Amino acid sequence: MNRSHEVSHRVSGHPGRPSLAVRAALLLTALGLVAGPAAPLAAAVTVGGLTVTTPFPSVVAEPGNTATFKLTISVETPGDVKLAVQGAPDGWTTRFNGGGLNIESAFVDKAKPVDVDLDVVIPDTATDSTNALRVVATQGSSAVTLPLQVKVAAAAGGDVTMTPDFPELRGAQTTTFTFNLTLKNGTGTDETFALDAQGPDPSWTVTATPAGQSQAVSTVVKAGSTASITATAKAPDGTAAGTYPFTVTAAGGGKTAQVQLSIVVTGSFTVDVSTPDQVLSTSANAGSPTNFTIRVTNSGTAPITNVTTTASAPTGWTVTFDPPTVPTIDAGAYQDVVAKITPTSDAITGDYNVQMTAKATEASGNTTIRVKVETPAFWWIAGLLLIVAVFAALYWVFRTYGRR
pLDDT of residue 351: 93
Which helix or strand (DSSP H or E) is residue 179 part of? strand 176-185
pLDDT band for position 390 (cuts 50, 70, 90): confident
Does residue 329 have a pLDDT over 90? yes
Does residue 217 have a pLDDT over 50? yes
pLDDT of residue 4: 35
Cβ neighbours for 139, distance < 8 A, ≥ 6 positions apart = 48, 50, 75, 77, 79, 80, 81, 82, 108
Does residue 187 have a pLDDT over 60? yes
Contact 32, 26 (CB under 8 A): no
pLDDT of residue 147: 95
State the DSSP string of 233-291: EEPPTTPPSEEEEEEEEEEETTEEEEEEEEEEE-----EEEE-TT---EEEEETTS-EE
pLDDT of residue 402: 64
State the DSSP string of 4-41: HHHHHHHHHSBTTB--HHHHHHHHHHHTT-S--SPPPP
Q: What is the DSSP letter of 396?
A: H
Distance CA 70, CA 57 (A): 9
Distance CA 396, CA 402 (A): 9
Mean pLDDT of the chain: 85
Residue 380: half-sphere exposure toward Cβ, Cα within 13 Å: 5
pLDDT of residue 260: 96
Average pLDDT over residues 110-115: 92
pLDDT of residue 399: 74
Distance CA 365, CA 329 (A): 14
The length of the chain in residues reads 404
pLDDT of residue 42: 59
Angle at Cα 122 formed by Cα 120 and Cα 125, nearest 5°? 165
Torsion of CA 54, 56, 57, 61, to 10 degrees: -130
Model pLDDT for residues 350-366, shown as the tens digit of each residue:
999 999 999 999 899 99
Distances in whole angstroms, Cα of residue 263 to Cα of each of 197, 208, 270, 302: 13, 15, 21, 16
pLDDT of residue 22: 36
Contact 282, 301 (CB under 8 A): no
Distances in whole angstroms, Cα of residue 163 to Cα of each of 181, 193, 228: 5, 15, 10
State the DSSP string of 328-369: EE-TT-EEEEEEEEE--TTPPSEEEEEEEEEE-SS-EEEEEE
pLDDT band for position 301 (cuts 50, 70, 90): confident
Q: Coil, helix or strand for 392?
A: helix
Q: Report the relative pairing of strands 176-185 and 226-234 from DSSP bridges.
A: antiparallel
pLDDT band for position 241 (cuts 50, 70, 90): confident
- Long-range contacts made by residues 4-7, C-beta under 8 angstroms, separation at least 24? none
pLDDT of residue 364: 94
Model pLDDT for residues 48-100, shown as the tens digit of each residue:
889 999 999 999 888 888 899 999 999 999 999 999 999 999 999 999 999 88
pLDDT band for position 18 (cuts 50, 70, 90): very low
Distance CA 330, CA 305 (A): 9
pLDDT of residue 255: 85
Q: Which domains does the chain possess?
A: 1-34 (no CATH), 49-157 (2.60.40.10), 160-265 (2.60.40.10), 271-377 (2.60.40.10)
Helix-strand-coil percent breakdown of the chain, rounded to 5? 10, 50, 35
Cβ neighbours for 39, distance < 8 A, ≥ 6 positions apart = 132, 134, 145, 147
Of the candidates 266, 269, 335, 274, the one whose C-alpha atom is nearest the C-alpha of residue 300 is: 269
pLDDT of residue 43: 74
pLDDT of residue 19: 43
Model pLDDT for residues 140-177, shown as the tens digit of each residue:
999 999 999 999 987 655 689 999 999 999 988 889 99
Percent over 90 (pLDDT), the chain: 61
Contact 67, 118 (CB under 8 A): no
Average pLDDT over residues 273-289: 93
pLDDT of residue 240: 83
Better-predicted residue by pLDDT, 32 or 190: 190
What is the pTM (predicted TM-score) of this model?
0.48
Distances in whole angstroms, Cα of residue 342 to Cα of each of 127, 266, 292, 357, 400: 92, 40, 11, 17, 48
